[in-house]
Amino acid sequence: MGPETRAMQDDETTNPALFSLLDGEALWKRAEGASAVACAGCHGDGRESMQGVATRYPRVVGGKLMNLEQRINACRVERQKAAPIPYESKELLALTAYVGRQSRGLPIAIEADATNQRYIDAGRVRFERRQGQLNLACAQCHDENWGKSLAGTPIPQAHPTGYPLYRLEWQSLGSLERRLRNCMIGVRAEPYTYGAPEMVELELYLMWRARGMKLETPAVRP
């Protein structure tokens, strides 16, 4: 990420994800579903109650590994009695970005313990396994060749510190899963579907790798 992109990200008035944050705040306060209750109805002011929440996801909730999007949708289905919001829709990205924003600047706090160790291990296996027609593992670029450039773009170390983020190439906000699917298509592998357990395990492994780094949600990337 160049200095111009970082400047764009750090200035609230030029970060194009600003609009999604405002949309997310409006959704947070809107009563939904058969229960006719808003997120704010239980959680109050998201700016306070959601502080630090995004630093702990994906995590195991009720025996199931969930990322933040899935947690929001689970709450919608169970508490609001509303239909889940589709993955990668503007609404889900906006809500996730709004929740994520409240943890901006806080260190990612994923800790390996008895509940999530096996998922981290599964994610690591997937990260290190060769896949696709190009027969490349994630690790071959992001562990062995980070810092070098791929077609003029620097290869990062796969620290997902800013999702959901505004990618200038996408011209919109996108989730970590969308980014992972991008990479999988790039190595000519069949990408996992949105919300697949394999995908969430990979997300958890990457967030665990990035533990201690500060969350930048919503970030801006080229």
Partner 1 sequence: MARVAVTVPASAKRGEIIEIRTLAQHAMENGFRHTQTGELIPRDIITQFSCSYNGVEVFRAELHPALAANPLITFTTVASESGTLEFKWTGDNGYVATHSAKITVA
Interacting residues with partner 1 (CB under 8 A): 8, 13-14, 16, 18-19, 22-23, 168, 171-172
Q: Which is nearer to partner 1, 14 or 135 (CB)?
A: 14
- Closest contact distance (angstroms) between CB of 92 and partner 1 is 17
Q: Which is nearer to partner 1, 23 or 203 (CB)?
A: 23
Q: Which is nearer to partner 1, 172 or 182 (CB)?
A: 172
Q: Which is nearer to partner 1, 30 or 129 (CB)?
A: 30
- Closest contact distance (angstroms) between CB of 220 and partner 1 is 11
Given the residues 42, 75, 138, 183, select the one marked as catalytic. Answer: 183
Tell me how far apart the alpha carbons of residues 7 and 3 are, in angstroms, rounded to a whole number: 6
- Closest contact distance (angstroms) between CB of 15 and partner 1 is 9
- Closest contact distance (angstroms) between CB of 22 and partner 1 is 6
Active site residue 183: yes
**Among 216, 186, 204, 182, which residue's Cα sits nearest to residue 8?**
216
* CA dihedral (192, 195, 198, 199) positive or negative: positive
- Closest contact distance (angstroms) between CB of 72 and partner 1 is 22
Q: Which residue carries 């194009």 as its tokens? A: 16
Q: Which is nearer to partner 1, 83 or 168 (CB)?
A: 168
Beta bridge partners of 153: 150
Report, as residue numbers or ranges, the catalytic residues: 183
